[in-house]
Amino acid sequence: MKKVLLIIMLALLTASSAVAQLRGQAPRRERINRERYERSRYADVADLRLRAAGTLEEELGPVMEKQVRLLIIDGQLNNKDLQYIQKLCRRSKVFGADGKEVDNYIDIDMSRTRINNGGSFFTSTNRDVLSSNMFSSCSHLRSIVLPDRLRLIDRGAFRNCYDLEDVVLPRGLEAIGDEAFYGCNELINVYLPDGMTTVGNSAFNGCTRLRNIYIPSSIFRIGDRAFEKTAVTDIYLPDRLEYLGAGAFNGSNLRSLYIPRLTEIGNNDLGKLANCSEIIVDPDNRYYTTEGGALYDRNLTTLLAYPTALRGVLYVPDGVQRIANYACYNCEGLSAVELPGSVTSIGAYAFAGCKSLRSIDLPSRCTNFGKAAFLNTPITSINLPQGTTVIREDLFKDCVQLTHIDIPESVNTIETDAFHNCRTLQAVVIPDGVVSLPKSVFEGCNNLASVKLGNGLKEIGEYTFKKCKQLREVIMPASLRTIGKNAFRDCDIAHLELNEGLLSIGDNAFSENQLIEFVIPSTVSHIGKKVAEKNKQLGRIVCRGAVPAKLDKVSNDKVALIVPADAVNNYKQADNWKKFKNIIGQ
């Protein structure tokens, strides 16, 4: 306990230092006044005291409209004035007093203004609210000092103000709405005033240069993805914070994270923190705890997150039942995982991108796997426990060093791209309970030389075995009814046995192989385009059916077409079949 408290104290001291530094950077009225004085002699400064709301354009005048780059306003503003400010922020050109074009930006000081209610800009009748989208996409707005009496910045108020570098928030501000500063790429520092309580969802999402954020002790809610994709490296979360939104710092540069006593994390999702090497939880937090550097729920039943920048072995304690979605996502230094027998499920993307993870032993009870759980890992061999029923989409996709996998007989579903691009996988046995192999399941498995298809298989989907360049022989089960387009394209098949009962063959299904003979069962009723094109050794096509199948487009028309003796005329008269040069009855 002493060690934990010491760690927390060190974290708080570090954070306090950062806070003090950021407080020193916080905008001050003195700085604003100083800039006014320093720039007052320039022709691009307009300091206006409005006699009434709605007179801003008139007071500024057409000449200054083209020149102003520092606009200081005192008085009441209405909808007309705000629309005019938007116009100034979106000017295509700005000119100096000599008529020459100058850098196009505008700084606005609204600290002494009051916004009247009403008009299309307003979703509230309270004039202390900066309403939704009020300054959104004001592409040349560089800085703004907001009204002193403002209490709420509503949804999207400054969304996509790409050149906004500085915003001075008033002391009485209570809340910042969803996406209020979304995509403000040039913001570097944000000082949230004392007394403020709420930061909305995605409020500063996409502010890619935002490095410093001061969060006051009054804040009790930070919304989902509020600071996603920012450059923040250190953050102090106040003790009063009750809700930290899902992925609040997702994609940021956070190096460590302290979770206060009252804080609950939205969906238990911290997001992807590529540089984080430390997660610290207040000992009195009722939702979470840490073990070996990893974040767990308070009851130690679910592994929620492992610091991405940590290296070495993850030892999951006994009693843990679930590895959460994204728990170890992109933990490139994670070299091994020791799972207890209590684990029953591994969530989506749980170990995806763990580029040092070469092996993992799955407990016998672990039979549930989320999408892409092992995506792009260097594991070489894995045995799925008996009782597993579904192999999820992308589960082993891009596992380029996977040479062996045992698929248990209990599996009845294999989803799209499950083994896509497993380049060193050599053999696979499909259980009899699998009815369909969907799109691209084994596409790009360059070394796959042996495939045993289950007796219950009815459908082979599009691109399922495309570019399996070592695949030389395929025997279809009697249950098969459909082969999708490009299913075996660009393989190395020389021997092919298609089953009676097969109904359709898709476009390019067997193109770019080594077939010498292509035999089409009598039950096939539809054949797509170019099904056996670019088989350089192909000598003949054999059709077993007396009634020609529908053929979408003729190819290989110079190859001998062998048909039943009593069906030669049928083929010579059938669409596309009749284009074959040599139709032989046999």
Give me the domains of the chain, ranges plus CATH numbers. 42-150 (3.80.10.10), 426-586 (3.80.10.10)
Identify the CA nearest to 207 among candidates 161, 138, 170, 257.
161
Distance CA 512, CA 523 (A): 24
Helix, strand, or coil (residue 399): coil
Q: What angle do CA 335, 428, 450 make, to 5 degrees?
A: 125
pTM of the model: 0.84
Q: What is the mean pLDDT of the chain?
A: 91
**Matching residue, tokens 């959104």:** 136
Q: Residue 157 to residues 111, 212, 290, 342, 585: CA-CA distances in angstroms?
A: 17, 21, 39, 49, 77
Helix, strand, or coil (residue 167): strand
pLDDT band at 333 (very low <50, low <70, confident <90, very high): very high
Q: What tokens were used for 490?
A: 């660009």
Distance CA 365, CA 386 (A): 9
Identify the CA nearest to 135 among candidates 92, 88, 173.
88
Summarised one tens digit per residue, pLDDT across range 194-247 is 999 999 999 999 999 999 999 999 999 999 999 999 999 999 999 999 999 999
* Residue 157, pLDDT above cutoff 50: yes
**Contact between 47 and 72 (Cβ < 8 Å):** yes
Number of helical (H) and strand (E) elements in the chain, helices listed first: 5, 44
Identify the CA nearest to 192 among candidates 312, 63, 19.
19
Summarised one tens digit per residue, pLDDT across range 421-476 is 999 999 999 999 999 999 999 999 999 999 999 999 999 999 999 999 999 999 99
Helix, strand, or coil (residue 561): strand
Identity of residue 527: I
What value does the mean pLDDT take over residues 297-314? 95
Distance CA 56, CA 52 (A): 9
- In this structure, the dihedral spanned by the alpha carbons of residues 227, 229, 230 and 232, taken in order and rounded to 10 degrees, is 80
Identify the CA nearest to 241 among candidates 267, 276, 215, 280.
215
The torsion angles phi and psi of 523, rounded to 5 degrees, stand at: -80, -10
Question: What is the number of other CB atoms lying within 10 angstroms of the CB of residue 166?
Answer: 15
Q: How would you class 85 by CB atoms within 10 Å of its CB: exposed for 0-12, middle for 13-18, buried for 19 or more?
A: buried
Summarised one tens digit per residue, pLDDT across range 339-390 is 999 999 999 999 999 999 998 999 999 999 999 999 999 999 999 999 999 9
**Contact between 19 and 239 (Cβ < 8 Å):** no
Q: Residue 183 to residues 133, 161, 244: CA-CA distances in angstroms?
A: 13, 7, 21
Distance CA 110, CA 74 (A): 7
Q: What tokens were used for 281?
A: 């939880």
